[in-house]
Structure 1
Amino acid sequence: MRPALDGHAGIPQEARLLFRGLTTLPGLQVEGLLQSSNRVIARGLPHPDTPAYRRLSIDQRIHRLSRVVVSLRPSERPRIGERLADALRATLAPVRFVSRAAIGLREPLGWFDGEPFRDFVWRDLFARTLPVEDLPTVASAHMRVARVPWNLAHAIGLSTRRVGGPLYPRIDTRGFDVMIAETPYPGRVTAGTHMVVRYHDAIPLLMPHTITDKSFHQASHYHALARNVKDGAWFACVSEATRRDLLTVFPQVEPRCVTVHNMVSHHYFPEQTSAGRLFEIVRTRRNQQVKGTEADAMRWIGPGHQYLLMVSTLEPRKNHATLLAAWEQLRLERFPELKLLIVGSLGWDHAGIVNRFRPWLASGDVQMLEEVPAGELRLLYHHAAATVCPSLGEGFDFSGVEAMRCGGAVVASDIPVHREIFGDAAAYFETYSPADLARAVTEVIDPVAPALRHALVGAGERVSQAYRPEQVLPQWQRFLDSLPPATRR
C-alpha cells in the first residue's frame, strides 16, 4: 500500500483500485502492507491469535496503533524531540536491517486494525481514487506493518551488491500464499509465499535518460528486479507492451509472466455540466506554484469555448513541449480561441517545461491544475474538445481510458502501448512531431467535419469497457488460482 500514501494518478491509483478489487473476489482474504518510503514506522500489534496480543489491554492496543498512524504521517512542524528521535532511528536503521538480513533473520510484520482508524485509512489511502461508496469495503481493512523503509531497502541492496551480491530484507510472510508488490520489490518473501510483482514499465531500464535521480532509480530498479527474478517471482504486467519490454531484459521469466491490464475507477462516466461549473473548476484547482494569471470568465465560458486537456505529471517524458508547440500552431492557423488545460503535479525537471508555458500562463490561455478530484476531472474529460496523451513512453496510460469512459475524444502519440490500450478509439500522431499532432487534433475537433470525433467517442465507449473492474477482476482471479503451490525452500 506504500504508493497509495502519495499521489493521485498512476501507480498510487492502481494500488487503490487493485486492493479494493481483490477484496471483492470470492475465496480471497486480502490484507494490505503498510510501508513508508523513507521512515521507520512504529511496529504495530502482535497478531490477534497470539498470547502477546491478548496480554495487551484495549487502551494499549489503541495506543500502539495510533503510533503507527503518527509514524506514517508525522507533524508538519516536529518538535526538537521528534526530530532527534527520527534522526536516531535513521542512523540506526541501516545497521539493524543490514545485520539482520546478513544472518538470515526475517523482518516481522506488525498487525494493524483499520476499524478504529477509518478516517485515516480512507482519507490517506483510498479517497483520492475511490468513490465514497467503497468506504465500507476498504476503510476497515486489516493491514500488516513493515518497519523497514522502502528506499532504505533499495539502498541496502545497492550498497551490498559488490560484497556477495545485493542483500535485501526477508519479510516474514508466513501464512500468506501470495504477496503482490507494486513495482520491483526490494525484499524477499518467506518460503511458502509467492511474490507477484505488479510490473508497470521498464522505463528505468530502457529509457533511463527520462527518469529522475537517474543513477539511483535505474540501479535500484534493476537490482531489485533481478533479485525478484532470481527468487522465482511471478510478474503481472499492466500491458502486453510492458510484458514485451520485461522479456527483452529477462527472457527467462516468460513462463512466469502474464498481462493483466489496469482497472479504471468507476468514478468515470459521461456527465454534463454548465460552462460556469467548468470555469469554477479551472479557477479553484489552479496549481498554486505556477498559477500564472487567473482564468478570465468571459473568455473561458463563452458559447464557443474549447479546450484541449492533458492529464499527467509535469516531467520531460510526458512530452508537454510537443503539445504546447502543436497548440500554438493550432491557435495561429485555425483555432485562435482554443485553450489548454494541464492537470497534474510538478514532477522532476519540471522547471524547463513550466518556463516554456509561462507566456501563456500569464495570458490565462493555459491553466495548470492540480489535486483535481475524480468527480471534477470527469467533467473536464467530458467537455474537452480532445484529451491529448502525447507521452514518449508509458506502461498503460490511465488518462486516455478515463477520457473514453467519460465520453471524450482522445488524441495519442503513436507508441506501442497506446495502440494496444486505445485501439481504434484514438487519433494517432507521430510522437515527436508538433505539426502532426496539430493535424490530428484539427481532424478531431474540426466543427465542419465532426464525423471523426463522433466515431472516436463511440469507439471509446466500446474499447474502454475492457478496463472496467468487472472485466479485469476475473482475470486476476484466474491468474491467482493458476499459481502452483509455493516451494518451501
Structure 2
Amino acid sequence: MQVIVNLQPLLSPLTGIGHYTRELTRELVDRQHSPGGISSVLGLAGLRLNTVTAEHPLLVGAGASQGADEAAAVHATHTARATHTATTRAARARAWRFARRYLRNPATRFVYRQAFAQRLRLHAALSRDMHDTLYWEPNFIRLPWPGRSVVTLHDLSHCRFPEYHPRERVAFFNRYLAQSIAQATRINVVSQFTANEVTELFDVAPERIDLVPPGVAARFFEVDPAQRERVRELHALPARYCLSVGTLEPRKNLATLLRAFLSLPLERQRDCPLLVVGIAGWGDESLPEGAARALEEGRVRRLGYVSDRDLPALYANATLFAYVSRYEGFGMPVIEAMAAGVPVITADQTATREVAGDAALKVGADDVEAIRDALIRLQDDTALAQQLREAGRRRARSYTWQKSAGALEASFLAAMR
C-alpha cells in the first residue's frame, strides 16, 4: 500500500495538528516495507509529491538546528542570550504570520487547493498502482482525489462555537468539510468525544470512524536535571510558577484563567507567577483588569513560542499546569504536562475531561472561583500535587505514537479493503 500524506500542516512553528502530522508521518516512514502494510510514503508539499524519508526536512523540523543555537546561548552573556532569543522569536513570528495570512485569504487558499488538487490528479493519471494507493489528509479538508482516502478530524469547534474562529475559517469549513467527510473512505478522530460530535453533527455511521489519538513523545518523560537547569537559565524561570500552554485565541479561555490568577493575593502571585506559552492565534481576547500591571511587574509573563527542545523542561520545572479551554478535540498540552510530571488543572468538559480522566483537578471552564481554588490547592497541598504527578504520568504512558501509528495503519488497511 502506497500512502500519500498532505504535509501542509508542517508549516513552522507547528501547531497541535502539525505535531500530530509530523509524529505520525515519522512512524509511517518507519513502518515502510512491513509485510502486508505500507510499501512507501509520498509527501505532498507545495507542488512537489516526493518520497518521504526520515531525513525529510519537514520531519526533522526546526528543533535540531534551534537546539544548537540555544545551547550556545546558555554559555553566552545574559545580554547576548536575550538578544538571540528575541531575534529568533521575532523571525519565527513573522514567518508564521505570513503563512497564516496567506492561507487564510480566500483567494490564495482557493489557488492553493487547486494547485494541490491538480498535482494529485496528475499523480493519479500517471500512476499504475491507483488500486493500491491511499491518500491521508491529516487536516480536516480532503483535496480532490479519485481513490480511497482517510481524513482526520481534530475537533468541530467551528460548528459548536463559530465565534471562536475567524469568519473566513468558518466559511471555509462550512463550504468544504461536509463534502470532505462524505467522500472520505474512513474518518479518523483523536478522541471519543470528537467521534460523538462527528456522528451527531454529520450523521456519520460510527463504524466508519476510527479512533487515532495523539501520542506523547519520550522526551516529555525523560527530562534530566541538566535540561531543566538549561531551560531555567535560558528563560530566566522563577523557582515556582504556574504554566499554561496553547495558541493564544478566544477558545483557549486565557482571560478566565487570568481573572482567577489575579484574584489571588498579591504575595501568592509574586511567589508563583503565571507563565503563558504559545503563539498568537487570532481575535482580540481582552485582558482582564489588572493584567497589564501584572505583566509589567512580572506576576504574569508571556513567553511566546517555545521550541520543542525546551518545552518538556518548561513543563517539568512548573509547580502546576492550568489549561481551561472551553472546547477541545483532545487537549494535547494536558497529556504533555502529565508526562512531564506536573499536576494539572483542566476543564471538566469536552475532550479534556476524557483525556484527563481521574489524573487532574477538573473545574468548570468559566468558574473563576473554582479555578482560583484549584490554583491554591495545588500550590499548598503537596500530597495532592504528588498524587496527581504520579497518576498523570501513568495516564500519559497510555498514549504513545507507536500505538497511534498502529491504529492509523489499521484504519488505512480497513479503507483499502
TM-score of the aligned structures, taking structure 1 as reference length: 0.67
CA distance in 1, matches of 2:326, 2:162: 12
2:15 aligned with 1:9: yes
Match of 1:479 in 2: 411
Q: Secondary structure at the match of 1:235?
A: strand
2:208 matches 1:256: yes
The alignment-based identity, stated in percent, is 25
Q: 2:255·2:286 contact (CA, 8 Å) conserved in 1? A: no
Q: Deviations over 1:83-118 (max 9, x none)?
A: xxxxxxxxxxxxxxxxxxxxxxxxxxx543678x95
Contact 2:137–2:152 (8 Å) recurs in 1: yes
Partners of 1:393 and 1:114 lie apart in 2 by: 34
Q: Relative to structure 1, is the Cα distance of residues 272 and 253 closer, same or farther in structure 2, using a 3 angstrom cutoff?
A: same
Q: In the alignment, does 2:111 pair up with 1:171?
A: no
* Cα distance between partner residues in 2 of 1:241 and 1:204: 15
The match for 1:273 among 225, 235, 246 is 225
Deviations, residues 226-285 of structure 1 (Å, cap 9, x unaligned): 2123324311001111111111111134331121111222221142537864442324xx
Q: Structure 2 residue aligned with 1:342, among 257, 260, 276?
A: 276
Partner secondary structure for residue 397 of structure 2: helix
Letter in 1 for 2:169: H
Give the structure, 1 or 2, with the largest relative contact order (CA under 8 Å, sep 6 or more): 2
Matching residue's letter, 1:437: I
Give the aligned partner of residue 88 of structure 2.
Answer: none
Which moves more between the two structures, 319-328 or 174-183?
A: 174-183
Aligned to 2:235: 282
Residue 294 of structure 2: aligned partner? 360
Alignment partner of 1:309 is 2:243: yes
Q: Is the 8 A contact 1:281 1:376 kept in 2?
A: no
Partners of 2:160 and 2:398 in 1: CA distance: 28
- The verdict on how the C-alpha distance between 1:204 and 1:320 changes in structure 2, with shifts beyond 3 A counting, is same
Cα deviation, 1:33-84, whole Å, max 9, x if unaligned, reads 3345xxxx5xxxxxxxxxxxxxxxxxxxxxxxxxxxxxxxxxxxxxxxxxxx
For 2:21, give the aligned amino acid: A
Distance of aligned partners of 1:335 and 1:186 in 2 relative to their CA distance in 1, 3 Å threshold: closer
Q: Report the TM-score, using the length of structure 2 for normalisation.
A: 0.77
Letter in 1 for 2:250: P
Q: Paired residues, what number?
A: 360
Q: Pick from 140, 143, 158 the counterpart of residue 187 of structure 1.
A: 143
Q: Is the 8 A contact 1:394 1:417 kept in 2?
A: yes
Specify which structure has the higher proportion of helix.
2
The answer to whether the Cα contact below 8 Å between 1:169 and 1:186 also exists between their aligned partners in 2 is no
> Of the candidates 408, 412, 424, which is equivalent to residue 358 of structure 2?
424
Counterparts of 1:112 and 1:232 in 2: how far apart (Å)?
23
Instruction: Give, in whole Å, the separation in 2 of the partners of 1:30 and 1:113.
Output: 7
Residue 484 of structure 1 and its aligned partner are, at CA, apart by: 4.1
- Do residues 461 (structure 1) and 393 (structure 2) align? yes
Alpha-carbon distance between aligned partners in 2 of 1:383 and 1:423, rounded to the nearest angstrom: 23
Question: Structure 2, unaligned stretches of length 5 or more?
Answer: 1-6, 67-102
The AA in structure 2 aligned to 1:10 is G
For residues 86-485 of structure 1, the aligned pairs below 5 Å read: 110-112=48-50, 121-122=56-57, 124-128=58-62, 155=110, 171-172=120-121, 173=124, 174=127, 175=129, 177-190=133-146, 193-212=147-166, 214=167, 216-273=168-225, 277-283=230-236, 301=238, 305-332=239-266, 336-350=270-284, 352-353=286-287, 357-446=291-380, 449-485=381-417
Structure 1 356/18 Cα, relative in aligned 2: closer, same or farther at 3 Å?
farther
Q: Where in structure 1 are there 5+ consecutive unaligned residues?
A: 42-109, 133-148, 160-167, 284-299
For 2:178, the aligned partner's letter is: A
Q: Is the 8 A contact 1:129 1:374 kept in 2?
A: yes
Q: Give 1:388's aligned amino acid.
A: A
Could you list the structure 1 runs, at least 4 aligned residues long, displaced by more than 6 angstroms after superposition: 129-132, 156-159
Q: 1:276 to 1:457 in 2, by over 3 A?
A: closer
Report deviation, 1:208.
0.5
- The 3-state SS of whatever aligns with 2:220 is coil
Q: Which has the larger radius of gyration?
A: 1
Contact map agreement 1:204 1:211 (CA 8 A) in 2: yes
Instruction: Tell whether the 8 Å contact from 1:8 to 1:128 is kept in structure 2 after alignment.
Output: no
For residues 32-111 of structure 1, the aligned pairs below 5 Å read 32-36=42-46, 41=47, 110-111=48-49
CA RMSD, Structure 1 to Structure 2 (Å): 3.1
